Amino acid sequence: MAVANLQDRLQTFLTDGSLIFLFDNYEPADRRRSQMIRDFAKSYPKITIVLFADERGGPFQRNTLENLEGEPRSLSLHPLKRKEVRELTKRWLAPSGLYSTETFHAVLRKIQTSGLPTTAYVVSMIAWTLERQNLNANINEAALLERFVDAILNKADAKEVNRASLDYTIRESFLAELSYKLRESDRYTMSLDELDQVAGEYVAARGWTTNAANFVRDLINTGILIEVDGTVGYRYRCLREYFLAKYINEDDEYREFVYAEANYLDFDREIDILTGLRRKDKALLEKLIRYTDAHVAAGLDPYDLQDFDNVTFRFGAERTLMKRPESLSDLGIDDEIIEGVLDTADEENGPKAISGDLENGTRPPNRNKIRDMATTYSSITLLSKVVRNSELLTDLELKKRAVLSSISHWGVFIGHVVSSFDKAIDSEEPGRESRYLGKLTDEQRQFVEHFVKVMLPLFLSGSIHSSLGTEKLRAIFESIVGDDSEPLLVRLLTAFLLIDVSFLDRSEAAGEMIKRVEAFAKTLNSRFVSELICEKLLFVYSSPNIGQSNRVLIERFYAETQLRLFGIKAGSPRYSQGKSGIVKEMREKIADDDTDA
């Protein structure tokens, strides 16, 4: 109404009901404000008034607006369901031609990994971010949380510049200290009375005369905190983690405690957020390389990364990937067969020994192989995320060393999985039926081996991309793929990273990355590794959002790799005929998948 020619018409707008008034953070228990709204509504009975109240702020009472024209209606705004998230994502991305089932799932994954609520604001914020970058790119979750907090705390509000106000920075600082106090006392909530006391101490220590109780109520009203029956906590877990990360950033002594080898995995989520905000932490990166080296050495069996070239298929090596079965049910494997295999393995292993504390007089070493592997996996994942987050780090030598360390450890993890299958087969006694595969048909054995040796490594390559993948490391990735001195498995996993980083990028740069991977693939002599690359290409090729020029590149790349597997030389009549046939089969498979979808 600040526009001059509208000011004279304001009274007319109010009288004829042309305006809608929105009141945010309305508290039904606030009698003074409720009376003001009643008086205003009685003066202008034709206007529409919308009151937004927190569900925990108290029940909405109809007598709050009694004796007014019309019937007040109470509506509840709940987090969006999956169907609504899909519809909102479609509305954002469909006009630009970017919406697909894959992008919808990308939005769901971002919400899940960041721990944010499924509100319209959060969904819109993620969809907007995806629209302006590579749809397959990893979003900086710390930046996403920062935007969310900025919006909740009204960072852009003009009142924030008033020196008398408890502005954004002050509220953020208090919330960071609150997260620290909760973490140190190993709990997620505290009573409202205790929180008032904590706020009072915070205010008094700074010599302010601010009413601490009102300060706490304001934070509850913003939605950062939630109060239920006198108990207060953060409304969302991700907010508690975010503010603890802010505290770690500000307190040098506590940061050293968090970064210690004995503690860092207890704070993996906060470290991920913190490094996503700082974008450079050389000292931490050095420590994580050292810590993860120790975990890999203790938790996984040694594995020669160059030896991956010698992995072969034990069952059905002549089969091509295009002919692979889609599922266990296609092979006639049902729950009864699976349970039979598990029962046989359990009987062969015998009963587990159980001993009490007093049986041997001393406590046996607390060694758990599965737990060690899980801890190792967590450490590798955190190292990868911190490398990805260190975008502003200028020490390129350290950055490349950290990338190599991370990918090498992932390689050992994958090598451990693949070699375990062969070791299990080699351990069988000659002439006796296999304990694990003896009841399966040849085709079923082929499927199991394909799953263990091909699909599991590819699933893990997805984990590598989600934790390490970023276009900003492209130059390092390309240098590793092109370096003959690096172990084969390291180069292969880095090639997969390049594919994942590029496959939804429709620019010329994406095509160049695919060509670099293709040049690497042509140097391979291992049928097994070539099969892995082909399976990865099929996965990328099935994406509905891949650019047409990149689709043609992948068709040629895949077809030529398949022909090399069969020993068909370029230039021969069978070569061009086979290439056309493979490309046709690829296109038909995608068309069939689209029809099924």
- Determine, yes or no, domain membership for 337: no
Residue where a domain stops, chosen among 14, 35, 64: 64
Say yes or no: 145 and 16 in one domain. Answer: no
Which of 489, 550, 561 is CA-nearest to residue 515? 550
Residue 124 sits at the vertex; the CA angle it makes with 122 and 127, to the nearest 5 degrees, is: 110
Say yes or no: 45 and 89 in one domain. Answer: no
Residue 532 sits at the vertex; the CA angle it makes with 530 and 535, to the nearest 5 degrees, is: 110
246: CATH: 1.10.10
Instruction: Tell me how many domains the chain contains.
Output: 4
DSSP letter for each residue of 336-399:
HHHHHHHHHHHHHH-PPP---TTTSSSPPP---HHHHHHHHHHHHHHHHHHHHH-TT---HHHH
Say yes or no: 305 and 422 in one domain. Answer: yes
Beta bridge partners of 49: 21
571, 543 contact by CB (below 8 A) = no
Q: What is the Cα–Cα distance from 237 to 116, expressed in whole angstroms?
A: 8
Q: What is the Cα–Cα distance from 347 to 233, expressed in whole angstroms?
A: 49
Query: Dihedrals φ, ψ of 76, to 5°?
Result: -110, 135
Say yes or no: 89 and 3 in one domain. Answer: no
- Determine, yes or no, domain membership for 388: yes
- Determine, yes or no, domain membership for 360: no
Say yes or no: 117 and 178 in one domain. Answer: no
Say yes or no: 456 and 311 in one domain. Answer: yes
Say yes or no: 100 and 212 in one domain. Answer: no
379, 295 contact by CB (below 8 A) = yes
Give the domain range for residue 132.
82-153
Query: Dihedrals φ, ψ of 543, to 5°?
Result: -70, 130
- Determine, yes or no, domain membership for 74: no
pLDDT for the residue 252: 94
pLDDT for the residue 545: 62
Say yes or no: 439 and 562 in one domain. Answer: yes
Say yes or no: 489 and 418 in one domain. Answer: yes
Question: How many alpha carbons fall within 13 Å on the CB side of residue 430?
Answer: 0
pTM: 0.74
309, 488 contact by CB (below 8 A) = yes
Q: What is the Cα–Cα distance from 389 to 274, expressed in whole angstroms?
A: 9
Say yes or no: 19 and 59 in one domain. Answer: yes
Say yes or no: 143 and 188 in one domain. Answer: no
pLDDT for the residue 85: 87
Q: How many residues would you count in the chain?
A: 597
Say yes or no: 145 and 192 in one domain. Answer: no
Residue where a domain stops, chosen among 223, 247, 278: 278
- Determine, yes or no, domain membership for 336: no
Q: What is the Cα–Cα distance from 382 to 558, expressed in whole angstroms?
A: 33
Taken in order 467, 471, 472, 476, the sign of the CA dihedral is: positive
pLDDT in tens, the chain (597 residues): 444 555 667 778 788 888 888 877 676 666 777 788 888 888 888 888 888 776 544 444 444 555 455 566 777 667 788 888 888 888 888 877 778 777 788 888 878 777 777 878 788 878 877 766 655 566 778 888 888 888 777 744 445 434 344 577 888 899 999 999 999 999 999 999 999 999 999 888 888 878 888 888 888 888 889 888 889 999 888 889 999 999 999 999 999 999 999 999 999 999 999 999 999 889 999 999 999 999 998 888 888 888 888 888 777 655 544 445 555 555 455 556 555 655 555 555 444 443 333 334 444 444 466 778 889 999 999 999 999 999 888 899 999 999 999 999 999 989 888 888 888 777 655 555 555 566 667 777 788 888 888 888 888 888 898 889 888 898 999 999 999 999 999 999 999 998 888 765 556 677 788 888 889 988 888 888 888 888 888 887 877 667 777 788 888 888 888 888 777 877 777 888 888 888 888 887 766 655 554
pLDDT for the residue 359: 39
pLDDT for the residue 322: 42
**CA distances in angstroms from 99 to 56, 94, 128, 539, listed in the order given:** 36, 5, 12, 19
